[in-house]
């Protein structure tokens, strides 16, 4: 019988039990979200018990698989992990990036555009021009990427911009 406060299985094993990795997705596939199905915060971030307290699952994933020095528990809110996919329940380490709190907030505001009607980040429908508009953010400034007749082409333009600027 496990003692209170001490998980019976290692953290990495319990962590992997709470992740749904899409079919046909391997560790090399970085484009699809890995959905956290365990406990969540009210805001939708995954939570897991580390033996002392509940911690954010995406921080544990980043610590275990990307950077062992990244703090799982931290009172320093100036450095955070940004979910580049904008899915708070995602724990795919390819979707996480260490940024300042200021940059994380700016990226979130860019995605909260009032006209957002697309399922793709940075893409929204403009009723007046009847085209898909694409915007991204680079160094804290909005960058207009153009108008497209097709939503998928618009999303591809956004993804290409991120790759060209090492943002994804």
For 51-102, the pLDDT digits (tens) are: 889 999 999 999 999 998 888 887 777 789 998 888 899 999 988 999 988 8
Give the domain extent around 86.
8-104
For 15-26, the pLDDT digits (tens) are: 999 998 877 655
Residue 121 sits in the same domain as residue 78 = no
Residue 97 sits in the same domain as residue 146 = no
Residue 96 sits in the same domain as residue 124 = no
Q: How far apart are the first and last CA of the chain?
A: 44
Tokens of residue 156, six digits: 């591809």
Identify which of 159, 167, 36 has the alpha carbon closest to the alpha carbon of residue 107.
Answer: 167
Residue 56 sits in the same domain as residue 84 = yes
Q: Give mean pLDDT, residues 125-139.
A: 87
Q: What is the mean pLDDT of the chain?
A: 83
Residues whose CB is less than 8 angstroms from the CB of residue 57 and which lie 6 or more positions away in sequence, other chains included: 15, 18, 36, 38, 45, 46, 47, 48, 91
DSSP 80-117: EEEETT--TTB--GGGEEEEEHHHHHHHHHHHT-TT--
Q: Which residue among 50, 77, 104 closes a domain?
A: 104
Residue 130 sits in the same domain as residue 153 = yes
Per the structure, how many domains does the chain have? 2
């Amino acid at each position: 019988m496990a003692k209170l406060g001490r998980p019976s299985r290692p953290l990495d094993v319990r962590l992997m039990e709470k992740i749904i990795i899409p079919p046909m997705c391997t560790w090399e596939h970085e484009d699809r979200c890995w959905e956290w199905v365990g406990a969540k915060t009210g805001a939708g971030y995954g939570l897991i018990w580390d033996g002392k307290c509940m911690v954010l699952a995406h921080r544990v994933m980043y610590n275990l698989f990307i950077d062992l020095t990244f703090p799982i528990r931290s009172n320093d809110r100036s450095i955070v992990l940004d979910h580049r996919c904008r899915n708070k329940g995602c724990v795919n380490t390819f979707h996480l990036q260490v940024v300042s709190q200021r940059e994380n907030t700016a990226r979130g505001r860019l995605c909260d555009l009032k006209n957002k009607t697309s399922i793709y980040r940075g893409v929204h429908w403009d009723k007046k021009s009847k085209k898909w508009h694409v915007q991204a953010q680079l160094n804290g400034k909005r960058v207009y990427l153009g108008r497209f007749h097709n939503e998928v082409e618009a999303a591809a333009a956004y993804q290409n911009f991120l790759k060209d600027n090492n943002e994804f």
